[in-house]
Amino acid sequence: MQIDRFDHLVLTVADIDATVAFYRDVLGMQPVVFAGGRTALSFGRAKINLHRAGREFEPKAARPGPGTADFCLVTEDPLDDVVAELGARGVPVEVGPVDRTGAAGPIRSVYVRDPDGNLVEISTYGTG
């Protein structure tokens, strides 16, 4: 077996509307409603499914909870533009820009938190 890529991940959140607003308005993801009114956030070739804490769908992680995720998103936009846009939207950069190592090599990253406190790394490959 050879795995090619992620398709989706699941975030357990306290408030689906607040989460949708953050990822839509700050990060430009598109909300999608599917199968029985479930909500996801679509971007590129991937999506983030949202589970409301205490009302998760089975099967689920052994210990799901708001604020337990730490993940990296890649952008083609210059990182200086990303930082400026985050600032304009009132989203503080917690760390960065800093050099890191991504799945395909060196990246430059900034870290922010979503409404649940999940750590969201926003990165660019190349000169960023």
Provide the annotated active-site residues.
121
Q: What is the pLDDT of residues 27-77, one digit of tens each?
A: 999 999 998 899 999 999 999 999 999 999 889 999 999 999 999 999 999
In the chain, the domains with their CATH numbers are 8-125 (3.10.180.10)
Q: What is the pLDDT of residues 96-117, one digit of tens each?
A: 999 999 999 999 999 999 999 9
For residue 111, give Cα distances in angstroms to 4, 19, 84, 98.
26, 17, 13, 9
Full-model pTM: 0.93
110 contacts 116 by C-beta, under 8 angstroms = no
